[in-house]
A and B are shown apart, each in its own frame.
Chain A
Amino acid sequence: MDRTSQFLKLFLAHEMEFRAFIGALVRERAARDDVFRDMALALWESYDGYDPARSFGAWARGVATNRILQQRRRDARITFSPETIEAVRDAFDRTEAGPGQREEALEECLKRLPERSAEILVLRYGQGSPASAIAGQLHISADVVNQTLSRLRAQLGECVRRQLISNQVLRG
């Protein structure tokens, strides 16, 4: 496997985790894609320094954190302090699961969702509709939509946590 393919394989295996890391640091949803692309290129440029004995995820977050800290002075999209940025990096390092494990756990959790809840998630995440549009479609207020989305995210987060523990026990 050539060097580019090796990098891509690792990068794609950690893509969701990397996006989540950026999502936790950048407030504007539109800006997250831009930062993600910038960071992907930064990782590729630094790939020579990657030690395969280390976790790729942790190394990638390290590179991205350094780049974000450099950038935050001139980039208003990155709003948190250096201390918080480092703390977020630590949190991701501490709680990283194996590739695909969270996806698998989430799939299980989504099966248990009521139809109405799933409908809101499809509108929000599948179609990218803003709360106001979902509200119009479902004849509820935008506040209710936002509250429902927050509640669903929290419930799913909790469910994924439990599911990860349960799966870990089953796998011994």
Chain B
Amino acid sequence: MDDASPIHNFLNGVLTDDSVVALDARLEASSALVDELAELSRIDVLLAGHYGAGGMSEENARHLLVAKPAATCRKWPAALIGAAAIIVLGSAGIYFWPKRESRNASTQRAFERVDSSRALVPPRPRTPPDSSAKETDRAPLDTSDEIHDPRLMRIREWLANFYLPAIDFDNVPIGQALAELESMLREYNHLQRPELRTLEVRADTDLQSGTQQPRIKLAATNATFLAALRAVAAQARARIEWGENAVIIASRPAGRSRDEWVEQSFPVPPNFLSHPPDATTSGVFQTGKDDSVRRRSPIEVLREFGVQFPASAFAEFDPTSSILNVRNTTTNLAIVDSLVGKEGMLSNPGAMIYVSGKLFELPAGVSPPDQLVEEAAVQQWLENLQRQGGVQMVTVPAVTTRSGTPAAVDVAGEIVGTPARSAEWQGTRIEVLPVFEGEAIRLAGSIDLRRPDNANEVTIRDNAATPESLATEAVDFEAVMIDNHSAILLLGDAGSASQVVAAFHARKVSPSSKPTERHDPAPESNLPKEPGKPAETSPK
């Protein structure tokens, strides 16, 4: 290319050490070239500002001034970086598009989303299988990828908790699989971790450029990034090399190429045969169940993750002891081990997502907080309002569900009233669909407020209302949520001179969490009790 080519490579961060020395010499000799470097660097930064998050907010900049790195450490404290990342996300990472429309159109859209529960996952074209793929003749696998450098351990820890909504590699070359994983790492880096923004994920030259590039077959939902990496490395009969700027799937030195037949037992989770795991939901919200999930044989499950079963190989699963017994070659057993061993794709019964919502009415003139605020701040804000007698809680539904599994609730026949005005009928239907994305949760859903066309026609009997007809009003929402934060949605005027506000909170919980358990400080203890009868669930 032209004289500026090394400058472009420098700005792209890909100039080699030798080339940097050469560029340095040229820059010393040419002020025109230095001007070119300055100008192109400006363009680089302005483009990032234009297409990316834009300039820094004053609040973020203020954070830069309050903490000082230790004299011996040029990195900033992790807590400060975390705080900055959260603020950046608060301004750029969350987005709402509340829309008022008729119930029919809104509900239809919500159900379209809910029915295809993967709809929130960006469509990724399934790569066609390559018929020329053959089993490679590589050395058996040693899956150890232990690291001791604290910086690398931190990256590894992030990746062990970084969820990928869907992976679908159908016998694709390893280079392509890793490029796609790297792309997902960028896309779902909602915490804006600088290290993950630039971390390379690739295979080493031997694997990438060999005549028989390993092929990867892997289909999974809600796998962690680390588990996916381990599975890819195992299928390539390779190991993972950790660096500050790159995670590399590296080939192993040849020498142990002899494959032997071995029978081995592995403890596995009880729901091992239900991958994706059973789509169960529980809590105040309605329980959903995905009928497409069926029990499969252990061989079917393991084949989906790239394990081959030549003649005389077998796999049996004993549900009483949760033991998987496999006879296969040492190479294939190593792949099984990477899947069902610690941090493997099939070793975790699957984290759940706990979603709680608070719906409350605000009197005119009181503004809700910003769109994304810390849960504790919402609670404090509500308590303050309650002390002033200015908030009326409508309902507090909660649910624990799996990522990608929809949940819905009808809060029917509520009587909401204050001493200042007459009682009104008000019903609410809430649908939510949470999906793990990286270290965050994408929460989509809709809230439908139903009010009678004419309040005079409402009959109130046994503390329940039966309107003759309903005027409905629906609002769709979608937000990327980070831990300990609530998304605030203003639903507008619900009648009279007040507004209805929804505050949603979503977070990861372990599968053993009791479905109906309240994980947050119980709002009932601090806020007015719901009037009328409590929220009810109803079958879909």
Chain A residues within CB distance 8 Å of chain B: 4, 7-8, 11-12, 15-17, 19-21, 23-24, 27-30, 33-34, 37-38, 40-41, 44, 71, 75, 79-81, 83-84, 87-88, 90-92, 94-95, 102-103, 106-107, 110, 121-122, 124-133, 135-137, 146-147, 149-150, 153-154, 156-157, 160-161
Interface contact B42-A17, CB-CB below 8 Å: yes
The CB with the most chain B CB atoms within 10 A, among A7, A79, A157, is that of A157
Residues B11-29 near A (CB distance < 8 A): 11-15, 17, 20-21, 24, 27-28
Residues B21-60 near A (CB distance < 8 A): 21, 24, 27-28, 31, 34-52, 55-56, 58
CB distance from B22 to the nearest CB of A (A): 11
CB distance from B37 to the nearest CB of A (A): 5
Task: Report B-chain residues with C-beta under 8 Å of the C-beta of A132.
Answer: 179, 182, 202
Interface contact A16-B187, CB-CB below 8 Å: no
Interface contact B179-A127, CB-CB below 8 Å: no
Interface contact B197-A12, CB-CB below 8 Å: no
User: How many angstroms between the C-alpha atoms of A161 and B49 in the bound complex?
Assistant: 18
Interface contact A103-B46, CB-CB below 8 Å: yes
User: How many angstroms between the C-alpha atoms of A21 and B34 in the bound complex?
Assistant: 11
Q: Decide: A125 near B183, CB < 8 A? Known: A149-B12, A150-B1.
A: no
Which of A21, A24, A28, A122 is in CB contact (< 8 Å) with B51? A122
Which of B13, B38, B187 is in CB contact (< 8 Å) with A24? B38
Q: Decide: A27 near B179, CB < 8 A? Known: A4-B65, A129-B186.
A: no
Task: Report B-chain residues with C-beta under 8 Å of the C-beta of A136.
Answer: 176, 179-180, 183
Task: Report A-chain residues with C-beta under 8 Å of the C-beta of B38.
Answer: 20-21, 24, 88, 91-92, 95
User: How many angstroms between the C-alpha atoms of A41 and B40 in the bound complex?
Assistant: 26
Query: Interface SS of chain A: helix, strand, loop or mixed?
Result: helix
Residues B194-222 near A (CB distance < 8 A): 194-195, 197-200, 202
Minimal Cβ-Cβ distance residue in B for A87? B34
Interface membership of B455, Cβ < 8 A: no
Interface contact B45-A23, CB-CB below 8 Å: yes
In the complex, the number of residue pairs spanning A and B with C-beta atoms less than 8 Å apart equals 192
User: How many angstroms between the C-alpha atoms of A38 and B180 in the bound complex?
Assistant: 33
Interface contact A88-B1, CB-CB below 8 Å: no
Which of B11, B50, B194, B198 is in CB contact (< 8 Å) with A153? B11
Interface contact B10-A20, CB-CB below 8 Å: no
Interface contact B64-A37, CB-CB below 8 Å: yes
Which of A21, A80, A88, A146 is in CB contact (< 8 Å) with B12? A146
Task: Report B-chain residues with C-beta under 8 Å of the C-beta of A75.
Answer: 74
Q: Decide: A128 near B45, CB < 8 A? Known: A12-B55, A12-B58.
A: no
Interface contact B64-A24, CB-CB below 8 Å: no
User: How many angstroms between the C-alpha atoms of A126 and B31 in the bound complex?
Assistant: 32
Residues B90-134 near A (CB distance < 8 A): none
Interface contact B24-A23, CB-CB below 8 Å: no
Task: Report B-chain residues with C-beta under 8 Å of the C-beta of A137.
Answer: 183
Interface contact B52-A84, CB-CB below 8 Å: no
For the A-B complex with A20-B42, A106-B50 known, give 11 more contacts whose Cβ atoms are closer than 8 Å. Answer: A33-B194, A44-B65, A81-B24, A84-B28, A106-B46, A125-B48, A125-B51, A129-B183, A133-B179, A146-B9, A154-B40
Interchain Cβ contacts under 8 Å between A and B, 18 examples: A15-B55, A20-B38, A20-B46, A30-B197, A37-B64, A41-B68, A80-B24, A91-B34, A95-B35, A95-B39, A106-B50, A128-B198, A131-B12, A132-B202, A136-B176, A136-B183, A154-B4, A157-B40
Interface contact B8-A153, CB-CB below 8 Å: yes
CB distance from A64 to the nearest CB of B (A): 14
Interface membership of B75, Cβ < 8 A: yes
Interface membership of B69, Cβ < 8 A: yes
User: How many angstroms between the C-alpha atoms of A103 and B456 in the bound complex?
Assistant: 59
Q: Decide: A91 near B31, CB < 8 A? Known: A8-B62, A12-B61.
A: yes
CB distance from A38 to the nearest CB of B (A): 6
Which of A4, A20, A28 is in CB contact (< 8 Å) with B62? A4
Interface contact A34-B42, CB-CB below 8 Å: no
Interface membership of B245, Cβ < 8 A: yes
Interface contact A126-B12, CB-CB below 8 Å: no
Minimal Cβ-Cβ distance residue in A for B48? A125
Which of A21, A80, A128, A149 is in CB contact (< 8 Å) with B52? A128
User: How many angstroms between the C-alpha atoms of A75 and B197 in the bound complex?
Assistant: 21
Minimal Cβ-Cβ distance residue in B for A81? B24
Interface contact B40-A38, CB-CB below 8 Å: no
Interface contact B24-A16, CB-CB below 8 Å: no
Interface membership of B76, Cβ < 8 A: yes
Which of A91, A94, A156 is in CB contact (< 8 Å) with B47? A156
Interface contact B28-A81, CB-CB below 8 Å: yes
Interface contact B8-A40, CB-CB below 8 Å: no
Q: Decide: A153 near B51, CB < 8 A? Known: A8-B58, A27-B10, A133-B179.
A: no
CB distance from A161 to the nearest CB of B (A): 7
Interface contact A28-B40, CB-CB below 8 Å: no
Q: Decide: A106 near B43, CB < 8 A? Known: A88-B38, A122-B51, A147-B1.
A: yes
Interface contact B20-A27, CB-CB below 8 Å: yes
Which of A87, A122, A129 is in CB contact (< 8 Å) with B28? A87
Interface membership of B5, Cβ < 8 A: yes
Q: Which 4 A-B pairs have the closest CB atoms?
A: A126-B51, A150-B8, A24-B41, A133-B183
